[in-house]
Amino acid sequence: MPSSPKLFHARPSSYIRRSTALILCLLIGLSGLAFGLLAISRHGLGYDCKVGKPLSVSVRWDKTGGGSPDEGLKRHKVMGFVGIQTGFGSAGRRAALRRTWFPSSHEGLHRLERSTGLVFRFVIGQTSDPSKMSELKKEVAKFDDFLLLDIEEEYSKLPYKTLAFFKAAYALYDSDFYVKADDDIYLRPDRLSLLLAKDRSHSQTYLGCMKKGPVFTDPKLKWYEPLSHMLGKEYFLHAYGPIYALSADVVSSLVALKNNSFRMFSNEDVTIGSWMLAMNVTHEDNRKLCAAECTQSSIAVWDIPKCSGLCNPVEEDAGASQ
């Protein structure tokens, strides 16, 4: 009796599976090659690929009024926005900062923001000198780390620049704190982040190294105050100018007021302090923001003047003014 035929179930052979895999790999390789050639050709034609959107932004200064930013403007949410105030003669300072604690690339700035919740930008105004504006344009194109204000960059107008900075920063960033800093300080962003993240019972905070001192009434002195007759003999409590921070509630109040409603004194730190005196803010004094040298706890390190209005301004500054 003949044996019954054996039944074989149809299955894809190993040869067919290997062939299919090879074909897929070949297609993927050809696609990658085509994409690479396209990228190279675009680069040759001038299509330069940057990391993300440009970071630098130019903000027009509203010379007439104040008010809140446009309703349709999407504000970037961060814990703190740090504006490093700089000028046209400070390219060397900016270079020094980029070699130390201030990241010099998009990737570095993004990493710092992710790790600390802080955004850092150099803040500068404008000048009528075309050569200086040309040099600034080159630096912006190279590093892309500026907040450009449509306001004249001049030492005597620092109070106006500072107000313009806070209003511009508030319009662009939904931040818990807005920090004003100078370009001659060494900063620890990680420690600054921890300081700003502290729980506070008062929503209106004025944070910095607080000081008092005699008002300079002699026109020959560096920090002469033309409106000294309105201030008396001693300044009120206010923060040193190289670095201080205002909470969001404080800055929102500044934004809501018209520009011409602010009293502008000669010195920027005194001007800010006078505004804070008129507001219901908490003066938070933190000496780690004005350390004379790097330590395990220092946040900002800079060459704090021996007196800066705290000792005998006439004797200390008479020689300097000569």
How would DSSP label each residue in 232-287?
A: -SBPPSEEEEEEEEEEHHHHHHHHHS-GGGS---SSHHHHHHHHHHHTT-EEEE-G
- Enumerate the β-bridge partners of residue 174: 77
Nearest to 57 by CA among 134, 164, 168, 152: 168
Q: What is the third-level CATH fold of 76-301?
A: Spore Coat Polysaccharide Biosynthesis Protein SpsA; Chain A (3.90.550)
Global pTM reads 0.77
Report phi then psi at 287, rounded to 5: -75, -10
Would you tell me how many other CB atoms lie within 10 Å of the CB of residue 15? 8
Residue 286, pLDDT score: 97
Residue 167, pLDDT score: 96
Nearest to 254 by CA among 304, 206, 317, 315: 206
Residue 275, pLDDT score: 95
- 11 token code pair: 């299955």
Rounded Cα distance, 320 and 75, in Å: 45
Residue 235, pLDDT score: 82
- 114 token code pair: 């992710």
Are residues 147 and 179 in contact, defined by beta-carbon separation less than 8 angstroms?
no
Residue 61, pLDDT score: 57
Rounded Cα distance, 172 and 163, in Å: 14
Rounded Cα distance, 146 and 235, in Å: 33
pLDDT tens track, the chain, 322 positions:
444 433 323 334 444 444 444 444 444 444 443 433 333 333 332 323 344 678 888 887 565 555 444 445 689 999 999 999 999 999 999 999 999 999 999 999 999 999 999 999 999 999 999 999 999 999 999 999 999 999 999 988 999 999 999 999 999 999 999 999 999 999 999 999 999 999 999 999 999 999 988 887 777 777 777 777 788 788 889 999 999 999 999 999 999 988 888 888 888 999 999 999 999 999 999 999 999 999 999 999 998 765 444 444 334 334 433 3
User: Could you give the 3-state DSSP secondary structure of residue 26?
Assistant: helix
Residue 85, pLDDT score: 97
Nearest to 234 by CA among 212, 264, 266: 212
Nearest to 98 by CA among 109, 89, 87: 109
Q: What residue segments make up the domains of the chain, in order of their start?
A: 76-301
